[in-house]
Amino acid sequence: MKSDWLNEQMLAAIDGTLSGTEQRRFDQALADDPAAQARFEALCALTERMRELPTRDEPLDFTDGVMARVSDIRRPWWVRLWIYLTRAHEVRVNLLGALAAAAAVVASVAVGVQLLRQEGTMPAPITAEVQKEYLMRFSYNDPQATQVYVAGSFNDWRKQQIQLTDSAGKGVWIGVLPLKPGIYEYMFYVDGHWVMDEHAQRYKDDGFGRKNAILELGTGDDLSI
């Protein structure tokens, strides 16, 4: 028991935190125990050597780095990658390295855009002008109809995508659609049947036995007389 007490007090004695009474009691106990005295002297020597070692400041990310390494032991690689990518880092770069990285990124983006454009998944940029849109109002008159849609080249002929509404309940079905300039063909799809727009200005045979209405927006002149 006395040996345990001595061992506990050795660090406090080295640090100089023992009170006067405790220090006297410690000195007496140490004098009575040559083995403890030898251990204390060795501990004092070790402490002295450690104090002679040069001191270094820890890096700013010391804690994060240690914790990441501890965590890496258990986490799968994709989790560690995600943590790495989402955590803030202090990055030191030189100018030449930064320029090389920037050049690589620019070249990669250019190659990627070219590939995407070749694949047809990216539209060519509009360089000339911003195309305006027209609000086109479609109307179909049929009090007997229960469901009326308009479909055409503007929506890939999806027959049940653009529904007209009869808000007044009088059989006047109306829908407004924003359309870019161009020439479009369309028909109404009324209760499961394709129906021609009887009020269109132009028509053409669809080749399948019906007539499509033709809608031309913004491709001609806007001069009115």
Partner 1 sequence: MVRAACLLLCICATAVGAADNDASIRDSAVRQYPDQAAAVSETVQRADQAGVPADTLTRILSRSSQAGVPASDFIHILNNLSQAGETGLPLAPFSEKVMEGLAKEVAPALIVQVLDKKLATYREAQRIVAESTAQAKPDARAVVAVALSFERGISPQGMQALLTEQGYEPAPVGHAAQALADLVSMGFNEGEGVAIVRAGLDAGYLQKGGATLTQIVAQAQKLGFGNDAIAQRMVTALNRGTPMAEISLELHGGNRRGGNRGGNDGWGHGGAQSGGAGGHGNGGGRHAN
Residues lying near partner 1 in the complex (CB under 8 A) are found at: 85, 91, 93, 97, 101-102, 104-105, 108-109, 111-112, 115-116, 119-121, 151, 153, 156-159, 183, 185, 194, 202-208, 210, 212, 214, 216, 219-225
The minimum distance between CB 15 and partner 1, in angstroms, equals: 44
Contact partners, residue 180, CB within 8 Å, separation at least 6: 131, 132, 133, 134, 217, 218
**Whose Cβ is closer to partner 1: residue 37's or residue 155's?**
155
Query: How far is residue 184's CA from residue 168's CA, in Å, rounded to a whole number?
Result: 28
Q: Kind of pairing, strands 162-164 and 182-190?
A: unpaired
**Whose Cβ is closer to partner 1: residue 79's or residue 101's?**
101
Contact partners, residue 171, CB within 8 Å, separation at least 6: 141, 142, 143, 144, 145
**Whose Cβ is closer to partner 1: residue 5's or residue 157's?**
157
The minimum distance between CB 137 and partner 1, in angstroms, equals: 19
**Whose Cβ is closer to partner 1: residue 66's or residue 110's?**
110
The minimum distance between CB 214 and partner 1, in angstroms, equals: 8
In the three-class reduction of DSSP (H, G, I as helix; E, B as strand; rest coil), residue 169 is classed as coil
The minimum distance between CB 210 and partner 1, in angstroms, equals: 7
The minimum distance between CB 35 and partner 1, in angstroms, equals: 56
Which residue's structure tokens are 């100018």? 95
The minimum distance between CB 178 and partner 1, in angstroms, equals: 19
**Whose Cβ is closer to partner 1: residue 6's or residue 151's?**
151
Query: How far is residue 137's CA from residue 179's CA, in Å, rounded to a whole number?
Result: 10
**Whose Cβ is closer to partner 1: residue 55's or residue 224's?**
224
Q: Which H/E stretch holds residue 111?
A: helix 95-119
**Whose Cβ is closer to partner 1: residue 33's or residue 61's?**
61
Query: How far is residue 56's CA from residue 23's CA, in Å, rounded to a whole number?
Result: 33
Strands, DSSP E only, in 19-167?
134-141, 148-152, 162-164
Contact partners, residue 102, CB within 8 Å, separation at least 6: none
The minimum distance between CB 159 and partner 1, in angstroms, equals: 5
